[in-house]
Chain A
Amino acid sequence: MTGKTLYDKIWDAHLVDQQEDGNCLIYIDRHLVHEVTSPQAFEGLRLTGRQVRAPQKTLAVVDHNIPTTNRAGGLEAIEDLDSKRQIAMLESNCAEFGVPHVGMHDIRQGIVHVTGPEQGFTLPGLTIVCGDSHTSTHGAFGALAHGIGTSEVEHVLATQTLIQRKAKNFRINVVGEAPAHLTAKDIALAIIGEIGTAGGTGCVLEYAGPVIEALSMEGRMTLCNMSIEAGARAGLIAPDEKTYSYLKGRPMVPAGADWDAAVDYWRTLTSDADAVFDREITIDAANLPPLVTWGTSPQDVIAITGTIPDPTALADEGRRTAMQRALSYMGLTPGTPMEDVKIDRVFIGSCTNSRIEDLRAAADYARGRKVAAHVNAMVVPGSGLVKEQAEAEGLDKIFIAAGFEWREPGCSMCLAMNPDKLEPGERCASTSNRNFEGRQGRNGRTHLVSPQMAAAAAVAGHFIDIRKVEV
């Protein structure tokens, strides 16, 4: 018998039923819920008279719509009536169905993918779902985690299971001597640039190799977060000592003898040496420069030292049309050096890059400097606890002194469902994960970068190679 991959092991441990046609029923250990993709699911339960099967395996957090200013005014102060209704609805649905709810005044409140790991809701070897495609973030702990649609949210609420077909195994090895400036964001962008936004379709990615092992838990979350941008529904990293030390003592993590038993089990969660992957690639990190996206797809990646690409050089007509459309949307001329591209806004936040380590890294490039006069820059911590920690370290003061706005936690300008959005034509250096048309505001122009690159660009007023900036 050949060995099993990490994905195979987790899958097998959760298989409730397998039909002859390959459709399977898998058990779901943890379900994260937020205000945007859940109202219709709760509505469905109500209409059919169904209950939430396992409320204690469910955790609701308000994040997508929540304003990042004036929290003190509470729900009443939220101007957008639709947002207010969704936020209120989450609270009342949770009360009605007995689901634990982290509301807007709770210090733990934050982006659901930041709050989950922080609380130890996320553990190795579990299956975790949420009505949000960046649920892949939790794969950093060796959990099988992926986004689901609202019908599936209802399905999980009612049955604690999900109908799935098994995905393919795709291992991405990242090797080589990682340069000092290399961030997890650059690794993520490099992978997406390499395999494309459909490269991982139908697959679960496993990230492996020395460069991945060297990443912090925050970095691993950044990387797994963007698996969905590579078309994969989930990304996985085998748990190790870093994982255990991150988890130990967190509120929802087993303790005492249970902890020891858990760690013993978690140590088995690696791909066997003779496991077979359907696809495997190796990326050499040694030569990776800081990366930036130029277009409207996360695969539109270039080096900071590169120039805006030329569509006429493309043979494939579909790709050429897509590139022309992207360049015109982005207001960019082929041949322009990336470092000459000026920006109007900077957004440091999102479930990709809003954890304490991200804020520390960005603060290094803001300390003692000033945001360029024509740039508006904001920092949105991923959770109340991240914010508290950052303030304890004085990071807020560094940002504020440099001219950054320091906000309350939430999704914010990652998708601009709250008042934080780009004006038409504005160009933004953003640490988020999607640069689609209109993502950060109608006709807004998004360039995806690491927190370091975003902070350095805020100061320079244009994109700049962080290798030139002293910290």
Chain B
Amino acid sequence: MELGNPFQDSLRFESRTLPCASVIFGATGDLTRRKLVPALYRLACERRLPPGFALLGTSRTPLTDDQFREKLRAAIPEFAPGLPVDGDMWRSFSSAFFYIPGDLKDPATYQRLAAKLSEIETRFETGGNVLFYLATQPSQYETAADGIGAAGLARGNGWRRLVIEKPFGHDVSSARELNARLQRIFPESEIYRIDHYLGKETVQNILAFRFANGIFEPLWNRRYVNHVQITAAEAIGVENRGAYYQEAGALSDMIQNHLLQIMATIGMEPTPVYVADAVRDERAKLLRSIRIMKPDEVALNAVAGQYGPARIGDSEVPGFRQEPGVRPDSRTETYAAVTLFVDNWRWAGVPFCLRTGKRLPRRVTDIAIHYSGAPHAPFAESNADNNGATPNLLIIRIQPEEGISMRFLSKEPGGGMRLRPVSMDFNYGASFGSQEASAYETLLLDAMRGDPTLYIRQDAVEASWAVVQPILEVWRNQSFGFPNYSAGTWGPAAADEMLARRGHVWRSP
């Protein structure tokens, strides 16, 4: 029987992570430089990485170990400002970085990786634990996974896990095909599909809010909820991702993954215990319960938009078609809004309105639960004009200023019974200070610890694609009058009309 660690102090020490090596494919790319290594280094500085941690990078660029270390060091000031890069800490951390140049299609690359991993296992006492991270183009996922499998790297003395980034396919069948290829090499339990939205503290807090408090859950159903709005707005354009974004679009890039995952977290049933598969089962069940749109329903329940040029403040902002790398006649949507229904007892008939877009007035992600009005309103006359909005609103703010607000009506001071909406606010900063954990830190650590709760399982991926695919297919054959919204506005008029048909209005977050 394995002995426990007698020195563990769960009250004060974080649960520990076993020593391991992380192999990053695409190690000279943007994701590694901007997200992965800064997150790993922050974990190291916070002393949350195991002492026997080693990083093995690979990509086609010929580099020595030292050049690789230097390349990553240079990225730290920009992407992890405030962390030291000249002292012992960085030297100690980066001394466990190694680099193997090679082509993903070349079996010799994997042989060299295997030899290095074997050396690392002995030198760092990793016990053979390896986390493979595919930070490559999605088109290379299968090649890399096949190479890992053919070299026998998917099995070893310790655990072997594979982390991949979205997109997980581009429709249901490609998602299934990708998964079938990956599952030939790794079992589903060792495949970690990352959606960084799920790593955000406030998204995780939705579960705590719903299931750790007794007062909200009774109101969390079709009897009380009129409709739900989920907004993920960005003020920036496509920046230097024009070429990529042109192939993806807002529906695939944001709604298919991030927003549907948030919707699943909002709508899922409670789990008896907080363990990975129980949580992922419930999320997947919710996604499978979303009604799939018929082609003739798409026009009524989905809106595509593309931003045009505008003057914002003192700046002339280009339209999407004027962005670098974007075709001047691009038909890609930079805005998408959909109204979805969940066919289950809890949510039957409740519209879930999801919208996302670029070049909207401000960067904000939030969820608004609009409650139905009182069954009889004795004060209706003095409160007739609520601009179409329901009086009671629960808002879960994900970014910025994470928190929760409840809006309700209150009597205005003075004579008569004049009502006015007021807000009761909970602000994270006001209760928990200004600590901010990066989603990648949370998720990387979870993968090393073997906790996939915040990762997306294959059935959820397929269910999400099943929801958006009919919309994508209709849009593919539809011509839009793009651009149909100006940069700096809340999207096309058609999105407002979509909600107006059910008597709703988008809130201004």
Report whether chain A binds chain B.
no
Interface residues of B, Cβ cutoff 8 Å to A: none
Using CB atoms and an 8 Å cutoff, list the residues of chain A in contact with chain B.
Answer: none
